[in-house]
Structures are given as C-alpha cells and as structure tokens.
Chains A and B, each alone.
Chain A
C-alpha cells in the first residue's frame, strides 16, 4: 500500500536519483549522435586497433580475475587461510587503482626497481631496452587490472557466501556431496558454483565495464601508440575543440555498445558452456581426493598481498626521492617537498572527507529508504536502473550530468557536487547492502509487530542495529568511491572544490612522480580509515552478539 511516508520516500529517491540519471543520458547521447562525429571516428585508421586493445585487455582481465577468484575460493574456503584472506581484502581494496599502477609501473620500468636489482648482475650502466610499461599489447594493463579486480571479486564472493542462507546451504551440500564420494573441489565446481554464479553477474559486469572504460590506469601503464579506445575518447572529450568532443562522445557510445555486445556474447557462451558442464558434472566420475591445492592457492594469495605491500613501500620511497638515477639502489637525494605540500593541502583533506562522508551517508539513507519503502516488484525491476551508472562510460555520464547541472545552476556549488557524488556512490552502496537486506529474516519484524512495536521503532531498535556491520561496510565503500572521483568533481564542481584526488591527478599530469606518489598514498589513507572503522564496528557488533 502506498502510504504517505512511503510515497515521500519513493519520491525523494526518484527525484534525487532516477530523474537526473534519465535526464543526463539523453544529453550525453545527443552529443555523440551526429553523423559527422561517427564519420570522423571511423576515419581514424587506428580506431579498430584501439578498440581491439580495449576489448582484449578488458575481457582477458575479467575472465582471468574471475577464474582466479573462483579457484581461490574453492581451494581456500573453510581453511584458516580463508580468514586471513578476508582481513587482507579491505586494505587491498582501499589502495586506489592509480596508486597501485604508479608503484607497479616503477617496479617493472626499464629504469625501475627490478632493473636496478638486476643491474649489478648484468653490469648495466644505463636502463636496458625493455618494453614493459606502456607495452603496445596492453599486457601490463591487463596484469594491473587483474591484480586490482581480484580483491574486488573476492570481496563480492565473500559477501555472497556470508549470507546466512547461502552459508548454511554451503555446509550442508558439501556434507552431502562428500558422502556421495566427491571431493570438496569437485563439489565446488559441479554443485556450488553453478548454483551461485548468476548472483555474481553484477559484480562481474561492473568489472568488465571498468576494464573497458578505464582511463587513469591506461594513462599510466597502458599502450600509447595506439592507446585504448577509452583513452582516445577521453583525450577527445577533454580537448577544447567541439568537433573532437563530439568524436569523443561517439567513441564513448561505441564502448557502451561494445560492452552490451560482450555481455550478450558472454551470456550465450555461459548458456552453451553450462549445458556441457552439467553433463560432465553428473557423469559420476570421482577423482581421488588430493590435499595439495590449498597451499598453492594460499601461496598465490600471499604473493599478491606481498605485491601490494611492495607497491606501498615503493610509493613511500618515491614520495621522498629527489634525484634517483639508474642504477642507484637508493635515492641520491631525499626531499620532503612532496609531504610538505601534502601538509599544506590539509584543508583539501578535510573537504574531501566531509564530501565523501556526506555522499556516503546520503546514499545510504536513500538506499535503505528504497529497501524499506519499495514494493518487491519495483525493487526487482529497479536493479538495472540503479546499477546503470556502473556500466555506463563515466565520461558520457559526466558530460550529461554537467549539462543538467548547468541548466539547474548547480555547477560549482557544493550542493551540486554532493548530488553528483551521491549519484555515483549509490550503485556501490546498493550492491553492498542488498545481500544483507534481502536475507534479513522477516520473522524478526513479525515478532516485533506482534509485540505491538511500530515499524520505525522496529527499524531503529532491532533491524538496523542488527545490520550495523553491513551498513558500516556499505558506508565505507561509498566513502572510498567518493574520494576516488575525479571527473565528477572537476566537471560539476567547475574546479571550485579541490579534493585529494583532483590534486593527485593534476600533479600526476605534471609528471612530478614524487608528488604523485605522496598524494597517491594520501588517497589511499582515507578509504583505509573508513574500511578500518567499518571493520572495527563489525567486530564490535559480532562480539556483542556472541557475549
């Protein structure tokens, strides 16, 4: 029934999220819809190569990281390593993509860490002729994507497996399957994953979309001649010439179309593959149970975690390195310039945190309001719309939102900036909260109502405290996403509001690696604090429930 408060809640959500999105899309599409734009796009002889690079790196990294996530879960679930893995995920997720790329790029560059390590062995006085960073085949880009998307997918898998109904099913089905003579690994691949893979569809889609449209990573480690299509689109959209802007919009639209095509192709492949897989699964073949896998998987994950630690160390070293010519193992001159600048930007830090906290909390409020107020049918059909900002090329979205903000005179205002950040953050908060909300036992509410409590009282006193951990985690995710925004802040903020990320990107554009490293570390610190706070809250809640 559509009571007044419910209607108000739904109206707020519609006004603040749905309408702007629906308004921004046509504005964005119109820009790229001119025939001249498309003609000039296909005129460029390198477009097909750029597109191929984008597709290859995105598809390879998505499939690889997905496969690794499944394999790691299969091997490590239930062992003590699984819990250790869980505690590593938050810091890995908090390190921004660009920061990781900067550190890793330095590690493998011809004048970087690895080369300097090998220099004494080979007697190199000058950097060797390696083609590692910006390699034309986008291999390093693919590698960086895998390293960054694997923790995200692991986090999604963990969120799925942590759901009560899933966790119970898991235990029971493994028990039954083992008595039927199948080993754990076989059960995962034949029984468990086929059941739950559909629920991992949205995170997978998000990963694919990111890989296809990523710009800042491609700038640091991606190919340059020709660059990926997303880079081309970005360069065109950022240029001053309107004709190039239109071409950039066309390229962004092309990427969106390619994404849709890839999704359809993958879905069809999954269906066809699934059939064959089912026949294999019930063939009755049982392989002898081996005990080797967990240690291999454990070692792989330890290596990945070690890589992250190494990257952070590299960033720390880079942030204080002045002159550091090859093949010196230590910097010849140290400088605190970068950190002094960071200290000067303390105001920016506070501003960034305030904006991120406001955006996360507002998005949280909207999402919770939606979950509580929306009828189930609306909820199901709304999911694609809510998740649309995730899969649309961000450039297109920002261009459209900017037009809308201009018309509404919100550009340059903190309110407009907050509004855009909420729009961008909301899908992530939605994904983070949905499992917890959907699996919340309805009987709690029924019991509360039977005891004569009103709905709001039930929410405040029972439901939300019980869901404190997922709420905190979702808020942390929203916080991190807001901190990492560059285009949104620059476009709609009209450059008036500097955040840590805008500082970092503009400094990186100037090529000062020292500053870029220092600001990258700063960028990482904020979300890390948020995730830490959420984890602490979750542990407190768990301890309180156990006591």
Chain B
C-alpha cells in the first residue's frame, strides 16, 4: 500500500493552521512530521485518521493505493492509530485485546494461533492471559502496536508513541516498531518533537509555527 497526501491543509476557525502539504510514503517507509507544540501536527494526524472535529477542518485528498479515503468514515479507512497511552482495553486480557483487532473469517482457533504467534515474535509469550495493568510500560506499548498491526491496516499513524517511556525502553521500542512496519510493508506517518524518534532515512516534514490561529 502506498500512502499519498495530496494538498492536505488544516484550518482552525477558518484560518490556516497547516499549509498545503503533499507527500508520498512507500510501503514500510516512515514519514516524520515535526514541529513545536501548537503547530498542528496532531491535528494533521487526526485528519488523516478521520477523527478531526470542528472548529478544526481539513482539505485535500488522502490516497491509499490511488483510492481517495478522505471521504470514508473512520471505521472504513483501515488506518491504524497509536497514541502515547497504550489504550489497551483494561477489562480484556492481552489475548482478547489482540483478538479484538483481528479480522473475522477464520475460526477462533486459527485467530488465537495468529495472535499467539505475534506475541511470541515480539518476545511476549506467556503474557496472553494477563490483564494490561499487570504488564510493564514497555510490554504494554508493544502489545498496543501488535494490536494495531493485527488489524491489517493499510497505513499506520503514530502520535508521539514513545514520549511516555524512558530512554532505554524508547530505543528498544523504536527498533521494534520500525522492524514490524517494514516486515508488513505498511506505510507510516510519525508525529514527534524528538529528532531521535525519526528512523534513519525517513522523509521529514517540519511544520513551522506560522502564528496562525493563535491569540
């Protein structure tokens, strides 16, 4: 899947927040969007996901393999979203969280096998029946990424996913994330304010603070 932004701009109360952007992200590649707080990068991500609410508004097109998904509702876009908080469902076990994301169609046994395999590949086997609150921060972050990826997204958006973790965990998780994305050939858009979060060789978009929409 190739992800393409075509003249995407974000406005706040009608005034420009993010100027028209165009970019293309190949499968397995990462597009980093950087800028200081208030520059609109989270809003951009929200528009890409389809979750943008008034008074913010967005224009432009979002193309996945040539198909304009910017007119589709969130549920139909198949674009995954990773936040700073892992947002695992606390009342479900780790396995159930993963099963929730997996598409239907296969038998329950087959889906369980796939989920367990993903856990094992991430070094998290044995944790299937634990609840999220019983896991460490790093483990939760990895399960959250697995959940996002098991839903077979066409693209993945990451909203400062590493900012809650300490330096060591950050490094481990970063490598894990880029490797997984590359393995599945999923294009990603990363929003961050930390240069170190950007994978090597990734395209970088910097949003300057234009002062638009601020008092």
Contacts and interface: CB of A to CB of B under 8 A. Distances in A.
Q: Do A and B come from one complex?
A: yes
B75 interface: yes
Contact of A284 (B79, B91, B104, B148): B104
B92 A179 contact: no
Contacts of B80: 179-180
Interface stretch (A187-195, A340-348, A483-491): A187-195
Interface in A157-209: 172-173, 175-176, 178-183, 190-191, 194-195
A190 B73 CA distance: 20
A183 B75 contact: yes
A172 B78 contact: no
Nearest to A190: B100
A87 interface: no
Contacts of A175: 49, 51, 81
A182 B75 contact: yes
B197 interface: no
Interface stretch (A218-226, A275-283, A300-308, A498-506): A275-283
B91 A286 contact: no
A195 B90 CA distance: 8
B74 interface: yes
Interface in A279-297: 279, 281-286, 289
Nearest to B100: A282
B118 to A, nearest CB: 14
B101 interface: yes
Nearest to B111: A284
A281 B100 contact: yes
A289 B76 contact: yes
B107 to A, nearest CB: 10
Nearest to B74: A178
B68 to A, nearest CB: 18
B49 A283 contact: no
Contacts of A179: 49, 51, 74, 77, 79-81, 148, 153
A284 B102 contact: yes
Nearest to B152: A181
B89 A286 contact: no
B201 interface: no
B99 A191 contact: no
Given A180-B151, A191-B89, A286 B104 contact: yes
Interface residues of A, number: 23
Contacts of A279: 108
Nearest to A175: B51
A381 to B, nearest CB: 23
B103 A178 contact: no
Contacts of A176: 81, 83, 87
A175 B79 CA distance: 12
Contacts of B76: 181, 289
Contact of B87 (A173, A195, A286, A289): A173
B91 A181 contact: no
A279 B49 CA distance: 28
B24 interface: no
Contact of A180 (B85, B101, B105): B101
A181 B87 contact: no
B98 to A, nearest CB: 8
Interface in A129-178: 172-173, 175-176, 178
Nearest to B88: A176
B96 interface: yes
Interface in A77-115: none
A172 B111 CA distance: 26
Among A176, A191, A195, the most chain B Cβ lie within 10 Å of the Cβ of: A176
Contacts of A172: 83, 85, 87
Nearest to A186: B75
A289 B81 contact: no
B100 A178 contact: no
Given A173-B87, A176-B87, A289 B75 contact: yes
A20 B84 CA distance: 51
A190 B96 CA distance: 11
A181 B100 contact: no
Interface string B46-75: 000111000000000000000000000111
A173 B153 CA distance: 18
B131 to A, nearest CB: 12
A282 B151 contact: no
Contacts of B96: 278, 281-282
Given A173-B89, A195-B90, A282-B99, A181 B83 contact: no
B104 to A, nearest CB: 4
Contacts of A281: 96, 100
A284 B100 contact: yes
A281 B83 CA distance: 23
B193 to A, nearest CB: 20
Contacts of B49: 175, 179
Contacts of B78: 181
A194 B102 CA distance: 19
B81 A195 contact: no
B81 A284 contact: no
Contacts of A180: 80, 100-101, 147-148, 151
A194 B90 CA distance: 10
Nearest to B112: A282
B164 to A, nearest CB: 14
Interface in B144-172: 147-148, 151, 153
Contacts of A178: 50-51, 74-75
A285 B103 CA distance: 7
Contact of A285 (B51, B73, B85, B104): B104
Contacts of B83: 172, 176
A285 B78 CA distance: 14
A282 B102 CA distance: 8
Contacts of B148: 179-180
Contacts of B153: 179
B81 A283 contact: no
A286 B77 CA distance: 13
A441 B74 CA distance: 33
Contacts of A278: 92, 96
A195 B91 contact: yes
Nearest to B102: A284
A380 to B, nearest CB: 18
A173 B102 CA distance: 17
Nearest to A195: B91
9 contacts: A172-B87, A179-B49, A180-B101, A182-B75, A195-B90, A279-B108, A282-B92, A283-B108, A286-B103
The 6 tightest CB contacts between A and B, nearest first, are A284-B104, A282-B99, A178-B74, A179-B81, A285-B104, A195-B91
Given A178-B75, A180-B80, 7 more contacts: A172-B87, A179-B51, A179-B79, A180-B100, A278-B96, A286-B75, A289-B73
